[in-house]
A and B are shown apart, each in its own frame.
Chain A
Amino acid sequence: MAAAALDNANPTILSASQLPTRQKRSAPRNGPDCRYSDLIFAKPSYMSRPFLQDDDIRYQDDTAAAVAWSRFGAGSGAAAEVDLSAEPIDEQEIYDLISSITDPEHPVSLGQLSVVNLPDIHITPSPALGVPSPNTIVQVTVELTPTVTHCSLATVLGLGVRVRLEQVLPPNYRVEVICKENSHSQDDQVNKQLSDKERVAAALENDSLRSVLDKMLESCLEN
């Protein structure tokens, strides 16, 4: 795309570290004075399977003492392991899924351009109510903020977000992508296009549009 065609040649770009995210857990400080901390706080190898049998845990009241291994504050042993408890899909998770989509005009992500923003993602029923059953229909609404009000690519952005979410959310999640109110001079038009299933399907048949979308979603590979 030629530079002259850019709708907004000079957008405000946030640095990746400024974006809200859950992906990076804050690692404990690792200064020169922490050289031996991991060593000293390591849980002894016999304090877990197989020397400590599951049955032990079932029978004894001292279980907590054997299983818990405190490392004071942020660096506690539990946080270092991957959290395996049940958590519903929340706004932050949706944000992490779409904020890494690359802008079709600039080599930066939608999150960095503030096209997608955490407060503009809405889920009903609220994730605070717990993990919904697979038979509950969950509505996800994402409001986009194009970088300029006359952005001609707003529909492409919306399409990208929509495609991405449909690829990664389970079937009981319904996705709605709209432009945030007053963020675009023709937001009605854009919203209409984005919510029209047939037009979306037709758009995806279009090879050149498809390749633009693929390019946008390339950066979303999970790590």
Chain B
Amino acid sequence: MADFRQLALDFVLEEDEAKLTELAQRAAKELETGPANSNPVARWVEAVQPWMPGNNETEDAQETPDWTSRAKALEFLSHTLDFVKPDLLKLSQVKLLIAFFGAMLDIDHKAGILASASALSRIIAMKAFQSQSGYDIIGKVCGMKEDFQRQTIKTRLAVYELLRTLISTPEVASNLQQRDGPSSAFMTNLLELCRNERDPDCLIVWFDILRIFLQQYEPTQEVLEAVFAAFKAYYPITLPRLSQSGLTPEDLKSQLRKCFSSTYRLASLALPFLIGKLDQGDGVTVNVKVDVLKTIKECLEEYTHPEESIIPYVSRTWGSLKYEVRNGEIEDAIWATLEVLKTLATKLKGDDLRNYTLDVTRDCVNDLSNPMYTTPAGRLIVSVLSANPSAFVLMVAPTITHLKDNLRHRKSVTHSQDLLKILNVILETRLLLSQTQMTDEQKSDFVSIDGIFKNLYHDVYKSPVALGSNENANVDDIKIATEAVQGAGALVSQGTVPLGFEKESGLLLPEATCSEVCQALFAIALNGFGGHSSNSTSDDLLNETAKALHRSVQAYAPGFRPLVDQFVSVAQSSRNDQSDEAAEKIQKIGSLLAYIGCSELPKSLIAGRNNFLALIHVITTELIAAMNAKASPKIWCALVVGIQTVSRYFNDACLKHNPEKDQAFDGSMWLYRVTYKYPELRVIAEEEDDGSAPSYNSATPPKGTTVTELRNDFLLVALVVVRSLYRRATAAVGLISGTKTPALQLSRDFDGSDKTSEYQYLHLVSDFAGFVVREMGEAQQASLKIDHYFLNLFQEELIPVPASATEEQRKAQLENYTDEQGSSWGWLTEKTVNTLSFGLLEAMRPSIVAKLFDSGVAQELLISGPLSASLTQNSVTRPVTRSILTILANKYKVESLGYLMSKLEGRLEASLKNAQNASDSDDASRYLEQVSSIYAIVSGLIRRPGGTQARALIQRLRDVPGNETTGHLLARRLEMIVAPQKFLAKENFAVVKPLWTQKIYFELVKPMLDIATSQDAEAGSQLVKTNYRIGVLSMVKHMPFSIWEDDCVEILRVSMALSQSLGPGPDTLPALEILKKILAESPDKAQEYAKSLINIALPCFSLKAAAQLTRPDWLPSGYVPAKMRPEVEAECGKLALEVVGALPRLFESKHVVPFVPQVRRELSLACGHPVRDLRRLARMARAAWTEIK
């Protein structure tokens, strides 16, 4: 049997919180397990006897009692109770404990309150607790009188918690009401007890007690007023600045607010009080004002019995609050006021609502004619009429009448804008309200005012919208039109409210008006796209017009087709126009139509599909017609951009609905099946047109469709278009003597009249093809056999696709390959059609690319590609060929094909040798191009996991700068290996190993860096070292700093050495870039090189310094291009100025001070540099250097 006395003693002596809890738990366990006959409860209570007053044998009566120990002893009891099960104590025991702790409240105001309050809180939760005792406890608490205020905050909080628990316990509550009746004497006592409370934590509980009392008890008016007076005194409340509690002012405010809104019976007290606060005018701060407004709003929301509580104060509320909006300046206060006014309207019905809305309307409509008050008046009106459909019905007619009147007699442009804005918001409100739940009566009321809106377009919007399409419109007209188009868009999307048995809501406006609006809006776009003056005002108009059209067409689907027809006529009339403007206009209208019709799927998926089909069909047919009519290639570009834009919008719109993305197609005869389903594609697909009407014009409603089906159809339709454009762009090569294998070339459409646009067109078509194929899943690409289309560019009947071969056959095939004959597939990647094949390859998944290796074609291309990179290719075809080689090497494990790798190595070796021994520079550069193409292969290869297995190749590349004649040229091109490329990104299914940059740094760059920085003469001549420096820097430039951070100082020295020996030029450019990066990332490493940095940088922007520069003797002539291109020169100057300008900020002044005179002089001269952007940088650098003291 445990000794409770010992436990109590331990508890009193213990300080540690964890141990105290443990002791209390032990005591609680003893209470539960102790045998009943030993009366553990009594022994437990008696355990604290030594510390109780009147029972101290040891203490002298006069001696001051030890309050701390006594409090601790009592805490032992209360803390134990925390761990006692609620059903343990018997009724008698509970009574005993209540008496005990109650007595403490009575007699021990110094040590007993906190413990008693916490203990009682536990006891009242016990099963054996009787509700009658609650009354007694409250009585005892009230007995503390003034001593209560002297308690610590913690104690008071415990008492408040106790009180809250008591009065919110239903049994206690009913007992209290029964004993005190409506006079609630206990409350009066409590109010007296707590009237001076100031602590935020306690107040939160106290307010809650008052709220519970007001809500759940039915006090007399007198008590109600007393309680109101008690919490009103705190209003408006705020948190003392130095308050330690974790509360926010908002917590306190909202708790107090709940007191105000607790019962409707407070209305006659609370509302006049709150409104009175507002009427103090400037006496209240914004924060208080917002608080008051929020409180009023909450009261209005919470009060029941509005006829008693709210209605008597409606006009007073309106009368006070309207000025807050009308004359107010603080946006927060205005918003809070509008919320109150709106809430008020939601609480009113019948005549009361009518009177209120009448007041609002009457007071506001006059203000509409005064430009100063138009916006506030509009906000007031809208806040009330948006409350519910009934308020809307009552107010909208007079408001719109006045808006119309005032628009006729507008005072200024802003006035018109404001009025239109109000009207727009009213339309948006109608749209929202028409979708809410309404009773039948509300519905018929709502429908009865439809007439007001039906004429709105002709009465209000028509002429301002027309301003937008007026060629001579001024800025003001455009501003007004910008507002008007938004309203017009909102007007078309208005629906009717279905009455009775109607299920679907129809359009509010007659169809004729809807199409008139669409036409008027489109006219703005047509006019806007024609002009060149682009400024923010007209841009806004065009943007808003686009949105309005989109909205209108979403609501009124038939509005779209006439717009498409207009596009056709614009395009047709531009066929002979060679100007950029014509092409630009077509492109912009195409994009606009794509956004209007295809950027969002309407409720009816079929309508969405029809929009897409109509648009893509029309644009493609127009493109073919334009090519037939020999229109400018610029127009082709504009149209193909339109095709791609339509497809991208529609694809994204489908994707928003989460279709299944990789559902394989039935690949056989896909073309036939698509054109059968959509006959309009037949002409595009060069099939016989049987005259059937386009599917999107079909009168019979088609079956429903799913989003997955819709998107799959989209992919196939887009592929039909791709196929058609590819076939149109290519033609069979005429019979060339000595060749038997078929090949393709660009068709006759490409006559070279405008090479730039022709080339851009090819790229755009190829990009579109890439987009379509990229959107297909792996199974889809496989089922459509995209690899075949890569080989025949959709010319199935001209180019037979080779069958897959065995490994042996492929090897043999490559063995038989000779440079003289070349690959029979060379045309595909090396001639002008390669842009088209590139687009498909870029988007193909690796598993599909692998099929190209199955037939051995890819292997051949990898070998023949580098060879073709000679002078027979031009600057348009060569980069494309290289990109194709890169992709082939990246998407297939070429490193595992030993026979291919050895052939490539042989090719590299031969090219290097030939370049070295070349007789003239043309010859040399031809072989250099071949080496560069092998770089391209390596750049794809090394990004693959396992790509670095191609050691021999990488090893060879490491040595290329070692050659004295060609080393520098080859070193420069090493950049190609690491430079980022879009087609090597994950989106294009490239295979990229996460740490490939690190790997290549250690495999390729680091060994070269060692030679570049070597002091050893055997490592190479100065010239060779310079070559290595070029190689290192051109690769490091593309790597993040973190990768070469450890070698930062070496790279810094390499950069400086290179710039010093070569001077400004293309090789110094990467060096400066790297210097800039080092300065940004780790300036302390460069600090001691300040002099060298300045010496390198000055010649880049100063002619004088450049003139003094002499290149070292060992540098052969022609090493650096004799004439620097202006953009390289400017770029060098720019970087150099940035470097110099940053030095004073980054370095300690002792490192820069010695150079101040020299640098300042050069910078002041640089302020007159011929290039404007450099002057700007020079001025900034000059300011930085001027500040050095």
Question: CA–CA, A76 to B879, complex, Å?
Answer: 22
Docked-complex contact A167 and B1126, CB < 8 angstroms? no
Query: Beyond A36-B648, A65-B759, is A170–B1164 a contact (Cβ under 8 Å)?
Result: yes
Query: Beyond A70-B756, A173-B1168, is A29–B581 a contact (Cβ under 8 Å)?
Result: no
Query: Beyond A33-B594, A170-B1167, is A50–B534 a contact (Cβ under 8 Å)?
Result: no
Docked-complex contact A69 and B760, CB < 8 angstroms? yes
- Does B560 reach chain A (CB closer than 8 Å)? no
Docked-complex contact B982 and A168, CB < 8 angstroms? no
Q: Closest residue of chain A to B525, judged by CB?
A: A33
Docked-complex contact B532 and A222, CB < 8 angstroms? no
Q: Which residues of A contact B1166 (CB under 8 A)?
A: 170
Q: How far is the CB of A131 from chain B (nearest CB, A)?
A: 4
From B588, B638, B756, give the contact of A65 (CB < 8 A).
B756
Question: CA–CA, A187 to B109, complex, Å?
Answer: 87
Docked-complex contact A40 and B595, CB < 8 angstroms? no
Count class of interface residues, chain B? 35 or more
- Does A88 reach chain B (CB closer than 8 Å)? yes
Question: CA–CA, A177 to B448, complex, Å?
Answer: 73
From A33, A39, A45, A70, give the contact of B757 (CB < 8 A).
A70
Produce 1/0 per residue, B645-656, CB < 8 A to A. 100110000000
- Does B580 reach chain A (CB closer than 8 Å)? yes
Q: How far is the CB of A165 from chain B (nearest CB, A)?
A: 10
Produce 1/0 per residue, A24-51, CB < 8 A to B. 0010110111111101110011110111
Docked-complex contact A167 and B1186, CB < 8 angstroms? yes
Docked-complex contact A172 and B1173, CB < 8 angstroms? no
Question: CA–CA, A89 to B1175, complex, Å?
Answer: 9
Q: How far is the CB of B647 from chain A (nearest CB, A)?
A: 9
Q: Closest residue of chain B to A172, judged by CB?
A: B1168
Docked-complex contact A84 and B1130, CB < 8 angstroms? yes
Q: Which residues of A contact B981 (CB under 8 A)?
A: 45-46, 51
Question: CA–CA, A46 to B880, complex, Å?
Answer: 7
Q: Which of A116-146 contact B (CB under 8 A)?
A: 131-132, 134
From A32, A46, A84, A89, give the contact of B882 (CB < 8 A).
A46
Binds A, one of B851-859, B897-905, B1177-1185: B1177-1185
Docked-complex contact B1170 and A88, CB < 8 angstroms? yes
Q: Which residues of A contact B494 (CB under 8 A)?
A: none
- Does A54 reach chain B (CB closer than 8 Å)? yes
Q: Which residues of A contact B928 (CB under 8 A)?
A: 55
Q: Which of B841-885 contact A (CB under 8 A)?
A: 871, 874-876, 878-880, 882-883
From B645, B879, B1164, B1171, give the contact of A87 (CB < 8 A).
B1171
Question: CA–CA, A131 to B1126, complex, Å?
Answer: 15
Docked-complex contact B932 and A170, CB < 8 angstroms? no
- Does A64 reach chain B (CB closer than 8 Å)? yes
Question: CA–CA, A2 to B476, complex, Å?
Answer: 39
Produce 1/0 per residue, B954-975, CB < 8 A to A. 0000000000000000000101
Question: CA–CA, A29 to B647, complex, Å?
Answer: 21
Q: How far is the CB of A220 from chain B (nearest CB, A)?
A: 9
Question: CA–CA, A169 to B882, complex, Å?
Answer: 48
Question: CA–CA, A64 to B755, complex, Å?
Answer: 8
Docked-complex contact A44 and B982, CB < 8 angstroms? yes
Q: Which residues of A contact B592 (CB under 8 A)?
A: 33
Q: How far is the CB of B142 from chain A (nearest CB, A)?
A: 61
Q: Which residues of B contact A74 (CB under 8 A)?
A: 532, 534
Produce 1/0 per residue, A57-81, CB < 8 A to B. 1011111111011101110000000
Q: Closest residue of chain A to B528, judged by CB?
A: A29
Question: CA–CA, A40 to B581, complex, Å?
Answer: 18
From B550, B649, B983, B1172, give the contact of A83 (CB < 8 A).
B1172
Produce 1/0 per residue, B881-900, CB < 8 A to A. 01100000000000000000
Docked-complex contact A171 and B756, CB < 8 angstroms? no
Chain A residue total in the interface (Cβ 8 A): 61
Query: Beyond A28-B534, A34-B591, A40-B641, is A168–B1167 a contact (Cβ under 8 Å)?
Result: yes
Q: How far is the CB of A7 from chain B (nearest CB, A)?
A: 30
Q: Which residues of A contact B542 (CB under 8 A)?
A: 29, 31
From B539, B638, B936, B1182, give the contact of A29 (CB < 8 A).
B539
Q: Which residues of B contact A6 (CB under 8 A)?
A: none
- Does A21 reach chain B (CB closer than 8 Å)? no
Question: CA–CA, A57 to B1121, complex, Å?
Answer: 13
- Does B1131 reach chain A (CB closer than 8 Å)? yes
Docked-complex contact A167 and B1182, CB < 8 angstroms? yes
Docked-complex contact A85 and B1126, CB < 8 angstroms? yes
Docked-complex contact B1164 and A73, CB < 8 angstroms? no
From B932, B975, B1126, give the contact of A84 (CB < 8 A).
B1126
From B879, B975, B1167, give the contact of A169 (CB < 8 A).
B1167
Q: Which residues of A contact B1127 (CB under 8 A)?
A: 84
Docked-complex contact B878 and A56, CB < 8 angstroms? yes
Docked-complex contact B1171 and A85, CB < 8 angstroms? yes
Q: Closest residue of chain A to B647, judged by CB?
A: A36
Question: CA–CA, A167 to B1160, complex, Å?
Answer: 11
Question: CA–CA, A108 to B689, complex, Å?
Answer: 70
Q: Closest residue of chain B to A22, judged by CB?
A: B1172
Docked-complex contact B546 and A55, CB < 8 angstroms? no
- Does B1066 reach chain A (CB closer than 8 Å)? yes
Q: How far is the CB of B524 from chain A (nearest CB, A)?
A: 12
Q: How far is the CB of A36 from chain B (nearest CB, A)?
A: 5
Q: Which residues of A contact B581 (CB under 8 A)?
A: 73
Docked-complex contact B1171 and A46, CB < 8 angstroms? no
- Does A181 reach chain B (CB closer than 8 Å)? no
Q: Closest residue of chain B to A56, judged by CB?
A: B875
- Does A86 reach chain B (CB closer than 8 Å)? yes
Query: Beyond A31-B542, A36-B644, is A44–B763 a contact (Cβ under 8 Å)?
Result: yes
Docked-complex contact B875 and A52, CB < 8 angstroms? yes
Q: Closest residue of chain B to A39, judged by CB?
A: B648
Q: How far is the CB of A46 from chain B (nearest CB, A)?
A: 4
From A55, A56, A73, A168, give the contact of B1179 (CB < 8 A).
A168
Q: Which residues of B contact A85 (CB under 8 A)?
A: 1126, 1171
Q: Which of B111-125 contact A (CB under 8 A)?
A: none
Question: CA–CA, A8 to B162, complex, Å?
Answer: 69
Question: CA–CA, A68 to B763, complex, Å?
Answer: 13
- Does A188 reach chain B (CB closer than 8 Å)? no
Q: Which residues of A contact B591 (CB under 8 A)?
A: 33-34, 36-37
Q: How far is the CB of A219 from chain B (nearest CB, A)?
A: 13
Q: Which residues of B contact A132 (CB under 8 A)?
A: 1168
Docked-complex contact A134 and B980, CB < 8 angstroms? no
Q: Closest residue of chain A to B550, judged by CB?
A: A32
Q: How far is the CB of B459 from chain A (nearest CB, A)?
A: 29
Q: Which residues of A contact B638 (CB under 8 A)?
A: 72
- Does A211 reach chain B (CB closer than 8 Å)? no
Query: Beyond A31-B543, A72-B580, is A53–B932 a contact (Cβ under 8 Å)?
Result: yes
Question: CA–CA, A171 to B1176, complex, Å?
Answer: 16
- Does A82 reach chain B (CB closer than 8 Å)? yes
Q: Closest residue of chain B to A170, judged by CB?
A: B1168
Docked-complex contact B1179 and A222, CB < 8 angstroms? yes
Q: Which residues of A contact B644 (CB under 8 A)?
A: 36, 40
Q: Which residues of B contact A221 (CB under 8 A)?
A: 1183
Q: Closest residue of chain B to A64, judged by CB?
A: B756
Q: Closest residue of chain A to B1168, judged by CB?
A: A170
- Does B226 reach chain A (CB closer than 8 Å)? no
Produce 1/0 per residue, A75-106, CB < 8 A to B. 00000001111111100010000000000000
Docked-complex contact B1126 and A54, CB < 8 angstroms? no
Docked-complex contact A40 and B645, CB < 8 angstroms? yes
Q: Closest residue of chain A to B646, judged by CB?
A: A36
Q: A31-B546, A86-B1171, A170-B1164 are in contact. List 8 more A-B contacts (CB 8 A).
A: A32-B595, A35-B648, A51-B879, A51-B976, A59-B875, A70-B756, A72-B580, A73-B581
The 3 closest A-B CB pairs, nearest first, are A170-B1168, A86-B1170, A56-B875
A–B pairs, 24, beta carbons within 8 Å: A36-B648, A39-B648, A40-B644, A45-B982, A51-B879, A51-B882, A51-B936, A52-B878, A62-B875, A63-B875, A65-B759, A66-B875, A66-B879, A70-B757, A72-B580, A72-B587, A73-B532, A74-B532, A83-B1173, A85-B1126, A89-B1175, A93-B1172, A167-B1186, A171-B1164
